[in-house]
Amino acid sequence: MSGLHSAAGRFVGQSVLRREDARLLTGHGSYVDDIVLPGMLHVAFVRSDIARGRITRVDVEAARALDGVHAVLTSDDLNPRVESVQMQPTMLASMPGAPLRPLANGDVRFVGEPIVLVVADSRYIAEDACDLVEVDIEQLPAVVDFERAADDTHNLVHAELGSNVAQDMAPPVHPDLERVLQDAPNVVTATFHQQRQTNVPMEPRGVIAAYEPSDGALQVWMSTQNPHEVRLACARVAGVPEQLVRVIGRDVGGGFGQKFFTGREELTVVLAARVLGRALKWIEDRRENLIASNHARLDRGTATFAVENDGALLGVFLDHLEDCGAFPVGGTGATGGFVGILFPGPYRVPLAGFHTRAVWTNTCGRAAYRGPWMFETVAREQMMDVAARAVGIDPLDFRRRNVVQAGELPYTSAFGMTLDTVTPAETLEQAAAIIGYDEFRVEQRRAFETDGRLSGIGIGLYVEPTSMGMMDPLSTDAALVRVQPTGKVSVHLGTGSHGQSIETTMAQVVAEELGIDFDDVVVVQGDTEPTPFGRGTGGSGTAVIAGGACRAASAEVRAKALDIAAHLMEASPADLELADGRIAVRGTPSRFIAWAEVARAAHLDSAKLPPGMQSGLEATATFKAPPITWSNACHICTVEVERATGIVRVLRYVVSEDCGVMINPMVVEGQIAGGVVQGIGGALYEHLVYDSDGNPLTATFLDYLVPTATEVPVIEYGHVETPSATPGGHKGMGEGGAIGSPPCVFNAVADALALVGATVTRTPLGPTAVLGALASSYTPAP
Amino acid sequence: MHDDDIAVTMNVNGERRRARVEARLTLADFLREECALTGTHLGCEHGVCGACTVLLDGDAVRSCLVFAVQAEGARVTTVEGLGGPDGALSPVQDALRAEHGLQCGFCTPGFVVSITALLAENPNPNDQEVREALSGNICRCTGYQGIVKAVQRAVSS
């Protein structure tokens, strides 16, 4: 690790080992499938094996007759109960979206769509019963190819919506942009395809729902990133008042966006539990997760750059198309608006425009996956290399020529977005220095000329809008900081940590703010009952927003503690400071009172409190984030392409990033690494494939290839710490690793292939694709 | 309970366990449901992800691909059986913590068992051997960085 730590505190800025680890390492975590309730029954779904068709018959009699089966529910049993209920997420209730429904009703719209819900004594029996359900479907032509979906006015995914176009945005194009895209000295165009992928949390989705008729209470355990949103959604769907709904998600085995909103199956199980009055458990299996949870990333973009002969960008335009599938959870699932306005990225681009369309198809729905709009970085960074080659400038120098420099900040983009405390130029130089860019260029040329070896280097440079405060309720988090009579502290957050180390990092923040020991602070989260309403965990928002709330609540607690201490010590609160579990007179450390003594007085000895002060020592505070807190990073990697097999090996991988003040550098680097490897998977291996009838062909881990330890390089880090304007100076960084890596790896492969004049435009760059590219531009090795 | 259930006896983490089970019950479900040892996780149920890895007579196996009745008379060790008393971490568990080799923790029990089995067989593996040995376990959070380092740390400790 290189770089500087400008603001390391006693706990903030330290690589404190994680609170979460001991229970998870010893098998004592509490994931949803680990919960067993008395009398609990098990759910399995009968799913469509047809992408588009009319349901002509559903016969559940044989299934109902099976020993151990308690109920077999169809759409007739469930759907009418939620006809006037919004199944979409609360914050998107008024936005366009797919016509969600619990079970398929009358027709099916993708392979994997749930048709029948079976309830049995065990999962084994429930699956036996699923095999006994007979469903007849009259197959209809499926809309599978997203590039042709918009033009298909005959076959509609959602007949009630009247079109396969889910979104079409085309902001007016500035006449000057039109002119430079015609007349510039260099006008370069290329089209890139990114393939369908999915999040692959190692723990698939799961839910337990228990409705207690006697008191009308609904208790739900769910694998979720967002317990308070789940609570709202369950209250609506089950028709149970929100105050009687409790949602718990203690340990959550990854999500990466998949579990940010509440899935259709989870809500259907909750509804069934309400109808049957029995505790139900549904644990998704991997096949279901791969074909029916959510998909992501299926995009096409045609980028056009107008470039001056000296390499200066004059204007850029992106024509973007994305696939929403059939039933995205979260509006349309479309990200194109963000893709468009973020397309200029960290560069000085005077003129920019875009057109984006999203289409419905008879495939699994699109949802957020770590950096949901990241195609802006894919299209831009891949195009930067294409344009650099077209004008004969090295890709690093081309970026140097155009990247926004420190002296130009704040810089407002053509779309009115203002970059402030970012360092794209600095991270570009730091990453290039760490990897030894110039030395690699020499070695690359030598290896090619002497041995015919194909190696390449690629860059992915981006700015990332994190912790976005422009859309409620994602803008705001709340924290309750509660000091116990002993002085020990609990921090209550509405977060849904699923690997982010929140139990550790937020304890670091509060311990720092209160000047007490890290071990004296515990974080309570993943449960709606003991926590204030919160935004959940996602969108790279915890450090800034939950952290801001922790600081705000800590400040209130601290102020009261200082008032009490000042009263007891006959000093002025302004003269006191908190550190090491003591409140001391600044400059006279021998005059102090223990933090625990103040806490004791606050709870147990009101006579010691200042006149008029009430007992207790706790505070709940909220923090609303500014519209955008930008972070930024530069990824550079080197690869070797084996000419005989088409296999790509990543040799070195460097990330230089600026997420402001790091709360826990170990956690920061862990988040980066996870994202980078997901992106390597996206660039080289992962591909959800459908045949032309809409049948998914990659429904196991033998077909959907996520990276293992043998495919990944050692990741090297550089840090630039430029504080943001938010409390603590943090910036979000959970998603960035997955944003920068796909184009970085793509560019490195393209750079290697360019040695022999071969080109690639789509991912994944597996052996077949690479061999195809090599064959189509065969040049004998020198 | 069915008439054709089969009696099975095995030693799990040092305790004798007896039950009558369906022939099709997997070892993973036996451990999770009959023994209430929920540290063994199911990430794919088709033998690829490795989250359900346990030791069967000392060998690392995927408990989703083994039927409980196949473990008749066997010695089974799960992640719960690898730490010390009072929650003390084993050297492998401790190394994973020190190197941030886990985030969400779902795949972690499988890695703990696989690494334990690797080091029992080869106390001093090189980097390539480590990565090959871990290639049957999928982690989606860490990018394997801390996991590989943890093996190296456990080797040198």
Question: Per the domain annotation, does B1 fall within a domain?
Answer: no
**Do A233 and A271 contact (CB within 8 A), yes or no?**
no
Q: What is the mean pLDDT of residues A12-38?
A: 97
Residue A706 has pLDDT above 80, yes or no: yes
Structural domain count of chain B: 2
* Yes or no, beta carbons of A27 and B139 under 8 Å apart: no
Of chain B, the percentage scoring pLDDT greater than 90 comes to 94
B99 and B139 share one domain? yes
B74 and B103 share one domain? no
pLDDT digits (tens, 9 = 90+) for A609-651: 999 999 999 999 999 999 999 999 999 999 999 999 999 999 9
Query: How many other β-carbons are positioned within 10 Å of the β-carbon of residue B155?
Result: 18
Q: B88 to chain A: which residues are within 8 Å by CB?
A: none
Fold agreement (A21-29+470-624, A421-467+628-775): yes
Token code pair at residue A400: 């140097």
Q: Which domain holds residue B146?
A: 91-156
* Arithmetic mean of pLDDT over chain B: 96
B113 and B72 share one domain? no
B62 and B123 share one domain? no
B66 and B122 share one domain? no
* Yes or no, beta carbons of B140 and A678 under 8 Å apart: yes
- The CATH architecture of the domain made up of A21-29+470-624 is 2-Layer Sandwich (3.30)
Domain end, chosen from B60, B81, B102, is at B81
- Distance between CA atoms of A274 and A269, rounded to whole angstroms? 9
Query: How many other β-carbons are positioned within 10 Å of the β-carbon of residue A154?
Result: 8
Lowest mean pLDDT among A758-762, A776-780, B47-51: A776-780
Return the CATH number at B68.
3.10.20.30
| Nearest chain B alpha carbon to A34 | B38
Question: Per the domain annotation, does B119 fall within a domain?
Answer: yes
What are the angstrom distances between the C-alpha of A603 and each of A546, B129, B131? 27, 58, 55
* Yes or no, beta carbons of B41 and A204 under 8 Å apart: no
* Yes or no, beta carbons of A31 and B102 under 8 Å apart: no
* Yes or no, beta carbons of A666 and B100 under 8 Å apart: yes
**Do A762 and A192 contact (CB within 8 A), yes or no?**
yes
| B73 min Cα distance to partner chain A (Å) | 24
Question: In this complex, which of A124, A202, A671 lies closest to B51 when CB atoms are compared?
Answer: A202
Question: In this complex, which of A21, A27, A706 lies closest to B140 when CB atoms are compared?
Answer: A706
Looking at residue A558, its pLDDT comes to 97
B74 and B122 share one domain? no
A782: confidence class by pLDDT, cuts 50, 70, 90: very low
pLDDT digits (tens, 9 = 90+) for A535-561: 999 999 999 999 999 999 999 999 999
Q: Tell me which CATH code domain A421-467+628-775 carries.
A: 3.30.365.10
pLDDT digits (tens, 9 = 90+) for A285-332: 999 999 999 999 999 999 999 999 999 999 999 999 999 999 998 899
Q: What is the mean pLDDT of residues B110-125?
A: 97
* Yes or no, beta carbons of B104 and A677 under 8 Å apart: no
- Distance between CA atoms of B42 and B54, rounded to whole angstroms? 12
* Yes or no, beta carbons of B38 and A670 under 8 Å apart: no
CB neighbour burial string for A550-575, b if at least 16 within 10 angstroms, e if fewer: bbbbbbebbebbbbbbbbbbebebee
Interface check A406 vs B, CB under 8 A: no
Question: In this complex, which of B93, B106, B137 lies closest to A26 when CB atoms are compared?
Answer: B93
CB pairs under 8 A between A and B: 177
Q: B76 to chain A: which residues are within 8 Å by CB?
A: none
A9: confidence class by pLDDT, cuts 50, 70, 90: confident
Interface check A344 vs B, CB under 8 A: no
Domain end, chosen from B46, B81, B116, is at B81
Question: Per the domain annotation, does B141 fall within a domain?
Answer: yes
| Nearest chain B alpha carbon to A667 | B100
Element (H, E) at A491: strand A489-493
What are the angstrom distances between the C-alpha of A535 and each of A232, A233, A467, A623? 12, 14, 11, 11
Residues 6+ apart with CB under 8 A from A159: none
Q: What is the mean pLDDT of residues A484-489?
A: 98
* Yes or no, beta carbons of B107 and A200 under 8 Å apart: no
| Nearest chain A alpha carbon to B85 | A26
B77 and B13 share one domain? yes
- Chain A (265-304) residues lying within 8 Å, Cβ to Cβ, of chain B: 283, 285-286
pTM over 0.95: yes
A547-569 and A502-514 helices, crossing angle to 10°: 30
Q: Which residue has the tokens 């999500």?
A: A255
- Distance between CA atoms of A719 and A730, rounded to whole angstroms? 13
Rg of chain A taking only CA atoms, in angstroms: 28
What are the angstrom distances between the C-alpha of A145 and each of A151, A328, A384, A693, A694? 11, 17, 28, 10, 9
B30 and B49 share one domain? yes
| Nearest chain B alpha carbon to A16 | B98
B17 and B76 share one domain? yes
Domain end, chosen from B81, B99, B126, is at B81
pLDDT digits (tens, 9 = 90+) for A67-93: 999 999 999 999 999 999 999 999 998
Looking at residue A778, its pLDDT comes to 59
Q: A22 to chain B: which residues are within 8 Å by CB?
A: 87, 89, 97
CB neighbour burial string for A163-188, b if at least 16 within 10 angstroms, e if fewer: bbbbbebeeebeeebeebbeebeebb
B102 and B121 share one domain? yes
Token code pair at residue B111: 């890695």
- Distance between CA atoms of A741 and A635, rounded to whole angstroms? 7
CA quadruple A549, A551, A557, A558: dihedral, nearest 10: -170
Question: In this complex, which of B24, B87, B104 lies closest to A499 when CB atoms are compared?
Answer: B104
Interface check A673 vs B, CB under 8 A: yes
Bridge partners, residue A521, by sequence = A489
Token code pair at residue A418: 């203002």
Query: How many other β-carbons are positioned within 10 Å of the β-carbon of residue A323?
Result: 29
- The phi, psi pair for A656, rounded to 5°, reads -110, 125
B10 and B68 share one domain? yes
| A170 min Cα distance to partner chain B (Å) | 37
Looking at residue A8, its pLDDT comes to 66
Question: Per the domain annotation, does B86 fall within a domain?
Answer: no
Question: Per the domain annotation, does B33 fall within a domain?
Answer: yes
Token code pair at residue A12: 């903030």
A628: nearest Cα among A755, A475, A750, A769: A475
- Distance between CA atoms of A619 and A481, rounded to whole angstroms? 5
Question: Per the domain annotation, does B98 fall within a domain?
Answer: yes
Task: Measure CA of the first residue to CA of the last residue in chain A; give whole Å.
Answer: 40
- Distance between CA atoms of A52 and B128, rounded to whole angstroms? 47
- What are the domain boundaries of chain A? 21-29+470-624, 421-467+628-775
Residues 6+ apart with CB under 8 A from A18: A501, A503, A504, A667, B97, B100
pLDDT digits (tens, 9 = 90+) for B78-89: 999 999 888 899
Q: What is the mean pLDDT of residues B96-107?
A: 98
- Distance between CA atoms of A272 and A274, rounded to whole angstroms? 5
- Distance between CA atoms of A40 and A269, rounded to whole angstroms? 13
Predicted-complex ipTM score? 0.98
Return the CATH number at B124.
1.10.150.120
